[in-house]
Chains A and B, each alone.
Chain A
Amino acid sequence: MSSFDADVIIVGGGLAGLSAGITAVKEGLNVILLERGEYSGAKNVSGGRMYIHALQKLIPDALEKAPLERPITKETFEIYCGENKKLVFSFEEKGKKNSYSVLRAKFDRWLAGEAENLGLLISYSTLVLNAYRENGGITLETNRGTLRAPLVIDASGVTSIVFRSLGLRKFTPDKWMLGVKEIVKTDINLKEDEGEAKIVVNLIKGVNGGGFVYTNKDTLSVGMAVTFDSLPKSEVPAQDLVEVFRERLGIQGEVLEYSAHAIPYYGFKNLPPIYDKNVIAVGDAAGFLIDDGFTIRGMDLAIASGMIAGLAAKKIVDLKDFTRTDIYYQMLKESFVLKHLELAYSRFSLLNKPETLNTYPEVLCNVLSDIFTVTEERKTLIDYALFRLKEKGISLTQAIKDMVSAAK
């Protein structure tokens, strides 16, 4: 056993990996974290909104010291429907501090500093190229040589190098989204303690997904997330997606950065294996993303799953039985992570049906157009609705069924 370099090696220094590292170090384990970027956050991109409940568990005084951008106090949905119609609605709750816009290059670098202060050893610019089983542990081949541990936490993001190398991943373009994003310098006409998260649907034709605009301190995060299998059907190629989106929204300002990142889009029932002998997957590497139509979240799931992995690692190391990674899974099942993923699944799968984000908004907008048009002809609201549904080939039964799953 002395041939191991650490009790636990964590691959990836993003939110999940750092949360696992911080927790494992606090538990007294001997941990090495490998990060392929020059610094944590160098390779990380998020839409840019974090629900902070998990962060506050990890770092209790995070609100005072974390480099958060703005609290999100306004939710706006902008749904384009048909040629010249759009539906917009907003909900505002001043003083709310449940979620914040964040910029990951700043945020992760800060969190890595916190982790290092707590004694976590991070090796930067260290790229894992391959992983295989050997003598009761995992051997990692990196650009800086070989490392071995009886337990490896895969926090390497959606491409999950460790699980992939062990043959535990099979990727398909319908289960991943491409996220593209620009940081735009512009005047934010909001008070310091206010921020807006805007979701935009149907502005670009052919893609399965949507766009977002989040307000940061003095920039906007403007981007889109669409499934990879829908890109060949898009009216705009991937490389121009965010530019066309930004222009159609009329957002002007200096573009400071253009970035892209793949996003897991599995849904609860299609999650990949998240534990196996000697290995545990956390965050994006485990496929943890929730999109229930109202909230889109990955970062809180990353932090929480990382923390659970750190606690599970301690139990597994104490047992000296590195086949018992199911301990991690049991703890996850008892946590909000898997519970929320399961809760979101009904709307997640509804959102993945083409009629949800394309046809229904059109029906709704057509009904609204009818209602707001006055001529000698006038029908009841339900008659307009039935007519506009029928026009799109949707039966009333189907519409009611979908409404019920949307309410779950």
Chain B
Amino acid sequence: MIPLLKRLGLNKYNVDPKPHIEVNTDICITCKDKPCTVSCPAGTYEALPDGRIMVHYERCLECGGALVICPYGAIKFRFPEGGVSYNYG
């Protein structure tokens, strides 16, 4: 299997200096299942040992899924300026 980061590295990114995803990690502490960690195709949400979520927003493939994957409304998402550009699509 090609590792995720290598696959993401195939894409052209122009990372927005301002993070376009914010997570209210106070909510994450109370969330057991953390569906975001298995629902994002870019592995943007990483669970930390203290129960909070670390956001790797620069990996984002801009699928839009962030708007539906958190049942507790902890994810605030907008599309980035710049971001990913596909060559094939």
The reply to whether B89 and A44 form a contact with Cβ atoms under 8 Å apart is yes
B10 within 8 A of A: yes
A336 within 8 A of B: no
B19 within 8 A of A: no
Of B65, B79, B86, the contact of A41 (CB 8 Å cutoff):
B86
Per-residue contact bits, chain A 59-71, to B (CB 8 Å; 1 contact, 0 not): 0000000000000
With a CB–CB cut-off of 8 A, which chain A residues contact B27? none
The reply to whether B2 and A243 form a contact with Cβ atoms under 8 Å apart is yes
Q: Is the interface of B mostly helix, strand, loop or mixed?
A: loop
Per-residue contact bits, chain B 66-89, to A (CB 8 Å; 1 contact, 0 not): 011101000000110111111111
B43 within 8 A of A: yes
The reply to whether A45 and B86 form a contact with Cβ atoms under 8 Å apart is yes
Interface size of A by Cβ–Cβ distance < 8 Å? 54
Contact (A255, B68) CB under 8 Å given A38-B85, A129-B78, A260-B42: no
Shortest Cβ distance from residue A160 to the other chain B in the assembled complex, whole angstroms:
10
The reply to whether B89 and A241 form a contact with Cβ atoms under 8 Å apart is no
Of A44, A161, A247, the contact of B86 (CB 8 Å cutoff):
A44
Most chain A CB within 10 A, of B81, B82, B85, B86, is at: B86
With a CB–CB cut-off of 8 A, which chain A residues contact B8? 258
B63 within 8 A of A: yes
Contact (A259, B88) CB under 8 Å given A180-B41, A232-B38, A234-B38: yes
A77 to B48, CA, bound (A): 42
The reply to whether A105 and B88 form a contact with Cβ atoms under 8 Å apart is yes
A257 within 8 A of B: yes
Most chain B CB within 10 A, of A103, A176, A234, A258, is at: A258
Per-residue contact bits, chain A 153-192, to B (CB 8 Å; 1 contact, 0 not): 0000111010000000001110010111011000000000
A384 to B30, CA, bound (A): 50
B11 within 8 A of A: yes
B4 within 8 A of A: yes
A19 within 8 A of B: no
A343 to B81, CA, bound (A): 40
Shortest Cβ distance from residue B67 to the other chain A in the assembled complex, whole angstroms:
5
A43 within 8 A of B: yes
The reply to whether B43 and A239 form a contact with Cβ atoms under 8 Å apart is yes
The reply to whether A105 and B87 form a contact with Cβ atoms under 8 Å apart is yes
Of B33, B43, B82, B88, the contact of A183 (CB 8 Å cutoff):
B88
Q: Which residue of B lies closest to A161 (CB)?
A: B79
The reply to whether A240 and B4 form a contact with Cβ atoms under 8 Å apart is yes
The reply to whether A255 and B10 form a contact with Cβ atoms under 8 Å apart is yes
The reply to whether B38 and A259 form a contact with Cβ atoms under 8 Å apart is no
A364 within 8 A of B: no
The reply to whether B11 and A257 form a contact with Cβ atoms under 8 Å apart is yes
The reply to whether A255 and B89 form a contact with Cβ atoms under 8 Å apart is no
The reply to whether A239 and B41 form a contact with Cβ atoms under 8 Å apart is yes
- What are 6 inter-chain pairs, A to B, with CB distance below 8 A? A43-B83, A43-B85, A176-B64, A178-B65, A219-B88, A232-B39
Please list the residues of chain B having a beta carbon within 8 angstroms of any beta carbon in chain A: 1-2, 4, 7-8, 10-11, 14, 33, 35, 37-43, 61-65, 67-69, 71, 78-79, 81-89
Please list the residues of chain A having a beta carbon within 8 angstroms of any beta carbon in chain B: 36-39, 41-46, 103-108, 125, 127, 129, 143, 157-159, 161, 171-173, 176, 178-180, 182-183, 219, 228, 231-232, 234, 237-241, 243-244, 247, 255-262
